[in-house]
Structure 1
Amino acid sequence: MPPIQSSLTPQENKMSLPEFIALMAFMTSLVALSIDAMLPALDLIGQALNSPEPQQTHLIVSLFFFGMALGQLYYGPYSDTKGRRRAVLSGLFIYLLGTVICLMSQDLNWLLFGRVVQAFGVSGPRVATLALIRDQYQGEAMARVMSFIMMVFILVPMIAPVVGQAVLEFFHWRHIFTLFLLITVTLGFWFFVRQPETLPPERRRIFSWSDLAKSSKYILTHFEVMGFTVAMGIIFGAFLAYISTSQTIFQSIYQTGDLFPAYFALLAFSVGFASFANGMLVMRHGMLKLSKLAMVGLFVGSIILLVLCVNTAGKPPLWQLLCLLFPMYFCVGILFGNLNSLAMQPLGDMAGLGAAIIGSLSSLLSVPVAIFIGQFVETGVTAIAMGFVGMSLLAYILVTLASKQRTSM
Structure 2
Amino acid sequence: MTTTTATRDVSRPEFIALIAGLMALNALAIDVMLPALPYMGEALGVMNENDRHYVLTAYMLGFGAAQIAFGPLSDRFGRRAPLMVGLVIYVAAAFSAAFSPTFATLLVLRFVQGMGAASTRVIATSLVRDKFGGRAMAEVMSLVFMVFMIIPVIAPAIGQVLLLTGPWEYIFFFMGGLGLAIAVWVFVRLPETLLPENRRELRLTVIIEGFRLVFTNKMAFSYGLSAMFVFGALFGFISTAQQIYVDIYDLGAYFPVAFAAIAGMMSVSSYTNSLMVRKIGMRRLSHGAMLVFTIMSGVWLMVSLTGFMPLWLFLAFLAVVMFMFGWSMANINSLAMEPLGKVAGTASAVFGLVQTVGGALIGTVIGQFYNGTVTPIAAGYFVLGCMALAFILIAENGKLFGVGEEYREDAVPADVH
The whole-number CA distance in structure 2 between the counterparts of 1:247 and 1:318 is 14
Q: Tell me the alpha carbon deviations over residues 156-175 of structure 1, each in whole angstroms, 9 at most, x when there is no partner.
A: 11110100110000122111
Identify which range, 370-379 or 162-171, moves more after superposition. Answer: 370-379
1:49 is aligned to: 44
Structure 2 residue 366 is matched with structure 1 residue 373:
yes
2:203 is aligned to: 208
Displacement of 1:12: 4.1
Identify which range, 397-406 or 156-165, moves more after superposition. Answer: 397-406
1:142 is aligned to: 137
Aligned length: 402
Out of 43, 53, 77, which is 2:72 matched to?
77
2:251 is aligned to: 256
TM-score using structure 1 length: 0.94
2:159 is aligned to: 164
1:21 is aligned to: 16
1:115 is aligned to: 110
Displacement of 1:396: 1.5
Structure 2 residue 271 is matched with structure 1 residue 276:
yes
| 2:93/2:109 contact within 8 Å kept | yes
2:343 is aligned to: 350
Structure 2 residue 281 is matched with structure 1 residue 286:
yes
Q: Tell me the alpha carbon deviations over residues 184-220 of structure 1, each in whole angstroms, 9 at most, x when there is no partner.
A: 1111111111111111222111111111112212211
Q: Tell me the alpha carbon deviations over residues 320-346 of structure 1, each in whole angstroms, 9 at most, x when there is no partner.
A: 111111111000111111111110111
The whole-number CA distance in structure 1 between the counterparts of 2:179 and 2:381 is 34
Of structures 1 and 2, the one scoring higher in RCO (CA 8 A, sep 6+) is 2
2:320 is aligned to: 327
| 1:248/1:378 contact within 8 Å kept | no
Displacement of 1:377: 2.0
Letter in 1 for 2:266: V
Q: Which runs of 5+ in 2 are unaligned?
A: 407-417
Displacement of 1:408: 11
Out of 3, 8, 17, which is 2:4 matched to?
8
Structure 2 residue 179 is matched with structure 1 residue 174:
no
2:391 is aligned to: 398
Identify which range, 96-105 or 293-302, moves more after superposition. Answer: 96-105
Structure 2 residue 355 is matched with structure 1 residue 362:
yes
1:386 is aligned to: 379
- CA 1:55–1:300 in 2, change beyond 3 Å: closer, same or farther? closer
The whole-number CA distance in structure 1 between the counterparts of 2:46 and 2:365 is 22
Q: How does 1:292-331 map to 2 (within 5 A)?
A: 292-312=287-307, 315-331=308-324
Displacement of 1:269: 0.8
Out of 55, 59, 62, which is 1:60 matched to?
55
- CA 1:43–1:408 in 2, change beyond 3 Å: closer, same or farther? closer
TM-score using structure 2 length: 0.93
Out of 80, 87, 92, which is 1:92 matched to?
87
> Secondary structure of 1:206's match?
coil
Letter in 2 for 1:381: V
Out of 193, 216, 220, which is 1:225 matched to?
220
The whole-number CA distance in structure 2 between the counterparts of 1:55 and 1:316 is 22
Q: Which runs of 5+ in 1 are unaligned?
A: 1-5
Displacement of 1:13: 5.2
The whole-number CA distance in structure 2 between the counterparts of 1:196 and 1:26 is 15
2:413 is aligned to: none
Q: Tell me the alpha carbon deviations over residues 236-284 of structure 1, each in whole angstroms, 9 at most, x when there is no partner.
A: 1011111101011111111111111111111111111111110000000
| 1:150/1:336 contact within 8 Å kept | no
Letter in 1 for 2:386: L
The whole-number CA distance in structure 2 between the counterparts of 1:153 and 1:258 is 24
> Secondary structure of 1:58's match?
helix
| 2:10/2:191 contact within 8 Å kept | no
Letter in 1 for 2:309: P
Displacement of 1:18: 1.1
The whole-number CA distance in structure 1 between the counterparts of 2:209 and 2:231 is 28
> Secondary structure of 2:149's match?
helix
| 1:14/1:195 contact within 8 Å kept | no
Letter in 2 for 1:8: T
The whole-number CA distance in structure 2 between the counterparts of 1:328 and 1:244 is 17
> Secondary structure of 1:404's match?
coil
Q: Tell me the alpha carbon deviations over residues 57-107 of structure 1, each in whole angstroms, 9 at most, x when there is no partner.
A: 221101111001111111011110111001111100111121122022111
Q: Tell me the alpha carbon deviations over residues 330-388 of structure 1, each in whole angstroms, 9 at most, x when there is no partner.
A: 00111111111110111112000100000101112212321222222222111222222
Letter in 1 for 2:270: S
The whole-number CA distance in structure 2 between the counterparts of 1:208 and 1:283 is 39
| 2:226/2:392 contact within 8 Å kept | yes
1:3 is aligned to: none
Out of 98, 116, 121, which is 1:103 matched to?
98
Letter in 1 for 2:119: G
Out of 120, 126, 129, which is 1:131 matched to?
126
1:234 is aligned to: 229
The whole-number CA distance in structure 1 between the counterparts of 2:310 and 2:48 is 30
The whole-number CA distance in structure 1 between the counterparts of 2:341 and 2:363 is 31
